Every structure is written in C-alpha cells, then in structure tokens.
Structure 1
Amino acid sequence: MCVQDKHIMKQNGTKCFLTILNADEGDEGNYTIQLENKSGTASCSAMVIVELKEWRTVQWKQNAMVDSLKEFKMDNNQVRELNFLLYGPVGAGKSSIINTIKTIFEGRHCVICPVAARSTESFTKMYQKHSIRREGVVPLVFYDTMGVEKQESAGVRTDDVISALKGHITEDYAFNPILQILEGNPQYRMNPGLCDRIHCLINVISADKIALMDEEYINKMKKVREAARTMGIIQVVFMTDVDLACPMIKDSLRYIYRSKKIKENMQKCSNLLGVPVNCIFPVKNYHEETDLIEDINCLMLDALKRIIPWAQEYVVKCSTNT
C-alpha cells in the first residue's frame, strides 16, 4: 500500500515507476506494482535493498594484514601458539574456515579439511589440529570438531567439546556421539597445561540459517558457551555464508557493513547466543571460487586481526594467575 508523500507512482507510456522518498532501514523489502484495466491485470515485483551508513570498517588490502600476522610472535614461556576451537552446527562452515585461512596464508587453494556442501550430517569425525604456515610456522592453531546436530545421540557431544576446551582431548580423537571421553581413554590428557587448553572459542553459524536454528542447537551451544565463560575463555562468532543471506553482498563483499540484512542477522545471533555484536564477524569461505579473491581474504584477515589480541590477553591472564 502506498503511503502519501512517501511512495510516488508515475507512468511514462507503458512503463510505471515507483519512487520511495527519504528511504531508510524500514523501507527495505519486496515491492509489487499491480496494474489493471479492462483487458486484465498484470504485476511486477522487485526487492528494494537499503544501503546503510557503514558501521564497521575493513582494510581492503590484504598484504599489510598478512605481513602483520605472519610476524606475530608469542611472548610467553608456557605457550608457543594460540589455540582456536571451531564449534557449531553441521554444515555451518567450520572446516571451510580452516581451508580459507590456510589458503590466505599459503597463497594457494588449500583443501586440508574435507568438507561436505551444506550437509545434514557431520563430515568431520575426528578432533583435528591445523597449523598455519607462511614462510615458516605462524603461531596460530585451529582445531576442527564434529558438527553439532539436533538429536541428542548425534553429532559432537557437548561434554566432549567442554573437555576439549580444558585441553583434555588429544589430536585425532574419534568423536563418539554416544559415549563421552573419560579418564582412562588413551586420548584423554589427564593434566593439561595452558599450552594444551583452548584460548579462543569460535562459534560458527550460517548467516542464512540463523532464523531457522532449532532450540536444540541453541541449547547445546549455550552449554558450551557457559562452560567457556566459566573458564574465562574468549568467545566469538564467525557468521558464514553472508553472500547467501544478502543479495547486495553477493554482488560485492565490500557492502558487508552497509547491509541491513547482515546487521539484523548479527543482532539475531547476539540475541540467540548471548555474544556481543562486536564479537561477531561476518565472513565468506572459499567454495566455488578457483582463483584467490582479495576481498574474501581481507574479510577473514580482519576477523583474525581482531580476535588474536583477545586470545593472547587470555593467555597472559592465565599465566599471571598460575
């Protein structure tokens, strides 16, 4: 329905035009023009996307960020590298994030972690450690986990993820959706040190599926978040598949922090998981692309650049308290 002094319709010959005056966030949506005469009716619809004022900036040149991160050094006798754990629903893009990060640093497409395209069953079955290399080893390690599933007896167990956060699980442990890893298991580390523990929990959520997440997923993730909070572990969210959530982003990633849809999804994610918006980072993984794309790299590097100091602060704090 047209609003007076807001929506103006004009006709020029056989063409009709709709003008929206002083467009703001509330004007975004699907608009339909319907015409009718004695011969019948016709309609045409179009999606109107409102571009917001940029609320977060990204450095869209990757070399400076890559150089800065590859020169990053740990200044701690107890810990030689920062440990990041990726955790989230099946198909959210945890393994793809690791592949994307390794691709950026190695300058070629890397498919170290096998991935399944938006699967309903977890492709990752084991607790896997992935180091980053760039003219040597960068002191960043990413641990991949089995995906969270809706059923209680499927996917990664919540108590296993909590054990991983504490450093009890060793690399290549095969996740068992039915049985929790316990003391006595050969891959259960009895007395983990600070170097074995996770220093930053990365929750991974698909931007186009946030509104569709079942309560069972949310409850499992909240339990892990609560355990991480008790341990003081840094927690962030990587929101993947941003190009599927907003057509404007599909055209150009540089509109990421001008998109109303992305901003709304970040707020929904914050409300669901209790993570502050400034700890939520929209990213895009390599998927269909065969060439390296600087904008994809920059968005991921921007997220890493912001979370690495937080993880390092956690290590310093724990070192001081021991």
Structure 2
Amino acid sequence: MGKGHSKSHAPEPTKTNFLSKPWREINWGDKQSVLQFVKNFKPHVEGQQIRILLHGPEGAGKSSFINSVQSVLLGEMYTQALEDNIGHDSFTKKYTTYKIQKEDPQSFYPFVFNDIMGLAPTKGVHVDDIKLALKGRVMDGYRFNPEWRLSEDDRLYNNSPDDNDKVHVLVCVVPASTLSQMNDKTVQKIRDIRMEASALDIPQVAIVTKIDEVCPEIMEDLQNVYKVEYMKEKMQQFSAEVGIPMKSIFPVKNYHDEINLNNDIDSLILSAMKHIITAGENHVNFKKNQSG
C-alpha cells in the first residue's frame, strides 16, 4: 500500500491465466435450490429480522446490490435503493433501512439492509457512526456528517435498541478494480469497523462488485470468475489487508444496464445472500444462547 495516498492503478494482466479447476464450486445450472433457500428463510426466533449493514468505499455499489437482491427475489428488475451514476461522491447521505418485498406487496422478507454513506480517506461517513449503527443506536433518517458523530442527545440516537435494531451481519462492499489499490486510510477504516464488529461477535462478509470490469474473460462469461487466477489473487490480497477470510468474500455483478434477469448474475448474488443470511441467523442464535 502507498503512504497515505491512493496507489496508481496497476496495469491489467496482458495474458489471463486460468486455474486448472475453479477454486470455488457453484451450481450454475440450478439456481432454484439457493433461490428457494433465501425465499423460504425464516429465523428461529419469532419476530426476529436479520439486519445487514453495508459499508465500503464511495461508489462501490452498495445501493446497486440491494436493488439486485430485490430484483432476483422478485423475478423482475426493481429499483428501491436510489443509485447514483456519477460516482464522484457518496450518494447515500442518510441512514436508511430497506425492506425486501415479497411477491405480495404487503409482505416482506425477514431480513433488511442498511445502506450508509461511503468510506473515504478524509471524508465520508464517520467511523464512530458505523460503530453506533452496529449496536443499533442509529435511527432511520439520521444524516451522516464526516465532521462529527451522532451524539446521545440527538433525537435520532436510539437509547434503548432491541435485537431487531442491532446489526447481525456486517458486509463490506468493494469494487473489484480497486481491491488492492485502496487508500491506506480507507483500509484502516475498514479494519477499525471490522474490529468493532468482532468485539460484538458480528460476522463479517465482503462483496466484490463490478467483477466484469477487471477482466474481459469474466465480462464475456461470468462463470469464469472462479477460474481466473488474477481475480483470486486480488481477493487474497484484500483478504490479507482487511482480515476477512476468503470463505466470506463473494464476487458479484450487480444489475446495472440490463433490462432482463440473467441466471449467472442471479447465481452469484444468491450465493452471497445464502452465506449472509446463514451468518446472520447463526449470530442471532449465538446471542440468544448466551443470554439464555
């Protein structure tokens, strides 16, 4: 990593090396079993919902991931979390909870997403605000400010969070193109947030977005994502830098300019969601057993 400043973009490899076999297996031909797992998921604790907090650098595709999950589960293109196409700054300014709608518009899945302002070296969301959000202290509508954290006397400070207010899975969303080229300060912020989550026993997952932009072979065929050596190396470097194990890092392509669903895009998103939901449910059960 550089000394407090962004690395210049390293040239992409001129020759794509393929592994002799994929380093992770996905049943590309049958997404239905994983789709049904996600659709049928129900927490063991009555009334419990799994809260998934997304964080990461500006423009990483956090809102796009929420929309993509909704699209996959609804079976059609859907836009709930507003997205910004410009990408110069963090588009998300306020703490917002996104429920995922079922086919029946009046019912929702028992997991929710929180999207927050992007991390940046000298601005972006205040790390202390993310730590407060992990504990369920931040209420919907709170407007992030890089200069100060949420104070206890603010009307949007939750003094008595219940289990549904607290975060059950922390998901770091990072674009594939900058996996090993992030600013040192941004990496340090990700580490700090991860350490706080670890202290609270909150599981952590990483979503690597925009995988089709780093390699023409992946753009041509998403099923190459676990075969391209370069992609695996970048994920390993990121894993070493921030401490999230490889088994908890998932490459995805969000829906962006597509107008129809795609089985390979769906399969990668569903693979990540199954892991996220399972991790969240395990956390809820672990906490319940501790308090019980």
**Normalised TM-score (structure 2):** 0.91
Give the counterpart letter for 1:295 in structure 2.
Answer: D
- Equivalent in the alignment of 1:209: 178
Q: Which of residues 41, 46, 50 is equivalent to 1:72?
A: 41
- Identity across aligned pairs (percent)? 34
Query: Does 2:214 align with 1:245?
Result: yes
The higher-RCO structure (CA 8 Å, 6+ apart) is 2
Query: Does 2:118 align with 1:150?
Result: no
1:279 Cα deviation after fit: 0.7
Go from structure 1 to structure 2 and tell me whether the alpha carbon gap of 1:29 and 1:95 turns closer, same or farther (over 3 Å shift): closer
Give distance in 1, aligned partners of 2:36 and 2:61. Answer: 26
Give the counterpart letter for 2:110 in structure 1.
Answer: P
- Equivalent in the alignment of 1:195: 164
Structure 1 residue ranges (4+ consecutive) displaced by more than 6 angstroms after TM superposition: none
- Equivalent in the alignment of 1:54: 22
Go from structure 1 to structure 2 and tell me whether the alpha carbon gap of 1:56 and 1:172 turns closer, same or farther (over 3 Å shift): same
SS in structure 2 of the partner of residue 222 of structure 1: helix
- Equivalent in the alignment of 1:317: 286
SS in structure 2 of the partner of residue 86 of structure 1: strand
Contact 1:235 1:275 (8 Å CA) reproduced: yes
- Equivalent in the alignment of 2:205: 236
- Equivalent in the alignment of 1:105: 73
Query: Does 2:254 align with 1:254?
Result: no
Contact 2:16 2:230 (8 Å CA) reproduced: no
- Equivalent in the alignment of 1:83: 51
1:51 Cα deviation after fit: 4.1
1:59 Cα deviation after fit: 2.2
- Equivalent in the alignment of 1:306: 275
Go from structure 1 to structure 2 and tell me whether the alpha carbon gap of 1:313 and 1:220 turns closer, same or farther (over 3 Å shift): same
Contact 1:132 1:138 (8 Å CA) reproduced: yes
Give distance in 1, aligned partners of 2:86 and 2:222. Answer: 21
SS in structure 1 of the partner of residue 288 of structure 2: helix
- Equivalent in the alignment of 1:267: 236
**Stretch deviating more after TM superposition (112-121 or 257-266):** 112-121
Q: C-alpha deviations, 1:108-147, integer Å up to 9, x for none?
A: 2112112223613100011111111223321110110000
**Stretch deviating more after TM superposition (309-318 or 117-126):** 117-126
Q: Which has the greater radius of gyration?
A: 1
Give the counterpart letter for 2:250 in structure 1.
Answer: F
- Equivalent in the alignment of 2:8: none
- Greater percentage in strand: 1
Q: C-alpha deviations, 1:260-318, integer Å up to 9, x for none?
A: 11101110110110111111001110112111111101100011112211111110111
SS in structure 1 of the partner of residue 225 of structure 2: helix
Go from structure 1 to structure 2 and tell me whether the alpha carbon gap of 1:287 and 1:52 turns closer, same or farther (over 3 Å shift): farther
- Equivalent in the alignment of 2:111: 140
- Equivalent in the alignment of 1:17: none
Give the counterpart letter for 1:144 in structure 2.
Answer: D
SS in structure 1 of the partner of residue 166 of structure 2: coil
1:149 Cα deviation after fit: 1.1
- Equivalent in the alignment of 1:281: 250
Give the counterpart letter for 2:171 in structure 1.
Answer: I
- Equivalent in the alignment of 1:226: 195
**Normalised TM-score (structure 1):** 0.82
Give distance in 2, aligned partners of 1:67 and 1:29. Answer: 38
Q: Report the aligned-residue RMSD.
A: 1.5
1:193 Cα deviation after fit: 1.8
Q: Which runs of 5+ in 1 are unaligned?
A: 1-27, 31-46
Q: Which of residues 114, 117, 137 is equivalent to 2:85?
A: 117
Contact 2:16 2:229 (8 Å CA) reproduced: no
Give distance in 1, aligned partners of 2:49 and 2:156. Answer: 21
Query: Does 2:96 align with 1:128?
Result: yes
